[in-house]
Structure 1
Amino acid sequence: MSSQEQALVSLLSQLALSFDGAVLGFAVAYVAVRSIRKFTLTSAALRKITAAPSVSVSDLRSLLTETDENSDEGKIVIVRGTVDAKNVVDGSWKALWPGVLVSSESGDKGVVLQRTQTCIYNEWKGLFGWTSDLRALFLRSWRQQESTSLRKIPFVLIDVGRPSNPEYVVVNMDGSSHPLPLTTVYHRLQPVNPPPYTFLQALFGHEYPVGLLDEEKILPLGKDVSAVGLCSLRNGIAEIKACNDLPYYLSDLSKDQMIVDLSFKTKLLFWSGILLGSMSVGIIGYAVVRNWNKWKQWKQQRQLQQRRQQPIEPVPPTDDEIEDVPDGQLCVICLMRRRRSVFIPCGHLVCCQGCAISVESEVAPKCPVCRQEVRDSVRIFES
């Protein structure tokens, strides 16, 4: 880590610990609220998936008999089937040209093709790269280092192990942002030929690309997946579409595995929310107490300064203070008057009343003998 990055980390840590950790406490409270919110969403999704029936493609139509055809509403179900192209089950002349996507690198066939190219930059800062540390730290996340292209075609799910069965369910991918169970078919890191001015870029600390990571992922034909979503009839054909309230749409997991996964996430989010919430309450409470004590201390010092700035009227000496006083009873400060005031809490009788008042008016009053902090003084009278 460079010196500029260390300075930035130090600045962020000081900001987080400012106001005796109040900023850090509110940040932890924000994370705790998000954890509790995710817990409620995950627990609701767990209840829906637990109550959803898990059926095969051939048994799906029996669940949809009570659903109105062409209705926008559907029933949440879990369907286990095999991926196949929609043209194959259309039964029309289009079946002669199976509508599938073919990987340009591996030649594998699928219904979803995703190609990602990631540019990898150098990490050396160069001889004069210290000026670009902060720029690289903030602008690197903004720079588009990855480009992704996604191609999809209509496809269906058929019964597992029964390719001749005419029953199928159409998978509607419109509006779905759920992750897909894609399979990597191509993965290669290609070096980038450096341009002539690369040496100057490296010398002055400017980043330059050194490699290009090329990946291809597909949803292959014949893969067994589980579809979780709203199922309904469209013109007599079963169709399933994604439900935004559920974390799954197409997945390699079965219903039991989804329940186990969501149960673990629910417990983790619940206890993390409780732990982070308790930590935030403790940090904010500690910050409130510390700042309240600092405010009271500042107020006392302010009152003491105002008292010290007020003119102190000299205390006229009494007859017993100016008469002949033995050396052992003289004030240790002025060495002229008799000792008459006792400091509290140490209890030393070493000053006259005027010098005791002068000691009390100091910013940090201390006893001239034991150097203990003085809170007050008391005038002593002899009977």
Structure 2
Amino acid sequence: MEFFSEIIGETVILGLDSLVLGFCIKQLSKCKHILNALQTAPVLDIDGTLNKEINKYSNNTIPYVVIRGLVKPLGNPITSNYNNSVTGVVQRLTIKEHVIARTSAGFWSDQTRTIHEVYNSTPFVLNSGKYSIEVVDALAAELLDMDVISDKFEPMSPGVIDHVWGFFSGVRQRGLQTMEEMLRDGSYITAIGELSRSNTGALKIQPPKDGLPLYLTTATKSSLLKRLASNRDFLRVLLVMVCTVAAVASSRIAYKLIKRRRRRAVEDSMKKQLAAGRRERRAHARERNLADVQLCVVCTENPKEIILLPCGHVCLCEDCSDNITDNCPICRERIESRAPAFIT
């Protein structure tokens, strides 16, 4: 417990660093997996050759594929709440609260929190001429690029009471932001996911079953690869930094442990030297030619010098008392304490 109090700072740092290290390793492994899968994913056109490509794979399924096409709703599209001329297939409505909050250091900083978010979607396909591919579970996409249709900020006009309350509570209201985003009808996007063909011959792209992400983005495959490579490089740098912190914290713990062991070894050596010196001084100071009744019952050489409590027996010399710590050799009662005894 005493040693733990010496290394509590390093232990906390090492514990937090281990959590960050585990997170970095997990994210780096995931990023590498996605990057390798995307690099080998075929780029296919939505045309008559698509069925021939699917026939090359078992179960009529391509595990990871890149396809670009125009967004076209199956049925009635979603109409924008703020612009009736805009329609789409996925809609996101978000309400955010903007505040000025006082930090623990006493400074005021701008903060934003989402107080309401809702998604609306309708079935849609990626179309190219007379060919189309249905997009399944678009809301599960890890990357879903949408256009901002409306972004309004309504500032608040606080009164005197609001200012006073904000000063004491540490939070001052700035206003509400209402945003509408949509994946527009007619957008040209890139879909990356699992491509399969049903028994009826319909083609669909959906989230892969092996944990790879579904992407619905306006970016191309090459730009996505650059983005993922940049994320991978950042995670590598972060991993090196985290490992360095872990190594420094571990080194400090090991240094303090070695230092503590050396200190204890020196203290034990000094205790042994002092004990040897005391025994030598006692040997020179003890009386000789004592009667048997005055001799230690254990070694029968040194005089009786220690009284055992609570039994009160005076039966041991100081040398033997150092080695007998449990029961009295006369009555076998438990030894709780001992004290010097002077026999005249």
Is the 2:90–2:120 Cα contact (8 Å) retained in structure 1? Answer: yes
Is the 1:115–1:150 Cα contact (8 Å) retained in structure 2? Answer: yes
Read off the aligned partner of 2:174 and give its amino acid letter: V
How big is the shift at 1:78? 0.6
Q: For residues 106 and 174 of structure 1, do their structure 2 counterparts lie closer, same or farther at Cα, with a shift above 3 Å needed?
A: closer
Aligned position for 1:64: 54
How big is the shift at 1:63? 1.4
Q: For residues 20 and 191 of structure 1, do their structure 2 counterparts lie closer, same or farther at Cα, with a shift above 3 Å needed?
A: closer
Structure with the larger strand share = 2
Q: For structure 2, which runs of at least 5 residues remain unmatched after alignment?
A: 285-344
Q: Percent identity?
A: 16
Q: For residues 19 and 307 of structure 1, do their structure 2 counterparts lie closer, same or farther at Cα, with a shift above 3 Å needed?
A: farther
Aligned position for 1:375: none
Q: For structure 1, which runs of at least 5 residues remain unmatched after alignment?
A: 1-14, 88-98, 126-132, 160-164, 317-383
Q: Secondary structure at the match of 1:257?
A: helix
How big is the shift at 1:148? 0.6
Q: TM-score, normalised by structure 1?
A: 0.60
How big is the shift at 1:249? 1.4
Aligned position for 2:82: 105
Question: Following superposition of structure 1 onto structure 2, how do residues 27-42 of structure 1 map, counting pairs within 5 Å?
Answer: 27-42=16-31
Q: Secondary structure at the match of 1:204?
A: helix
* Number of residue pairs matched by the alignment: 272
Deviations 1:158-187 (A, max 9, x none): 12xxxxx21000000167141310111111
Which of the numbers 114, 126, 129 marks the counterpart of 2:92? 114
Higher relative contact order (CA 8 A, sep 6+): 1
Residue 224 in structure 1 maps to residue 188 in structure 2: yes
* Alignment root-mean-square deviation, CA: 3.7
Is the 1:187–1:216 Cα contact (8 Å) retained in structure 2? Answer: yes
Q: TM-score, normalised by structure 2?
A: 0.66
Residues in 2 aligned to 1:27 and 1:308: alpha-carbon distance in whole angstroms: 45
Read off the aligned partner of 1:112 and give its amino acid letter: V
Q: Secondary structure at the match of 1:288?
A: helix
Aligned position for 2:212: 246
Q: Secondary structure at the match of 1:106?
A: coil
Is the 1:52–1:77 Cα contact (8 Å) retained in structure 2? Answer: yes
Residues in 1 aligned to 2:117 and 2:239: alpha-carbon distance in whole angstroms: 35
Q: For residues 268 and 119 of structure 1, do their structure 2 counterparts lie closer, same or farther at Cα, with a shift above 3 Å needed?
A: closer
Aligned position for 1:83: 71
Residue 123 in structure 1 maps to residue 128 in structure 2: no
Aligned position for 1:92: none
Residues in 2 aligned to 1:264 and 1:21: alpha-carbon distance in whole angstroms: 32
How big is the shift at 1:29? 3.7
Read off the aligned partner of 2:67 and give its amino acid letter: V
Which of the numbers 228, 233, 239 marks the counterpart of 1:267? 233
Deviations 1:212-265 (A, max 9, x none): 011111111221111111111122111000226334511222122222222333
Question: Following superposition of structure 1 onto structure 2, how do residues 186-225 of structure 1 map, counting pairs within 5 Å?
Answer: 186-192=150-156, 194=158, 197-205=161-169, 207-225=171-189
Q: For residues 232 and 26 of structure 1, do their structure 2 counterparts lie closer, same or farther at Cα, with a shift above 3 Å needed?
A: same
Which of the numbers 189, 193, 201 marks the counterpart of 1:236? 201
Aligned position for 2:122: 153
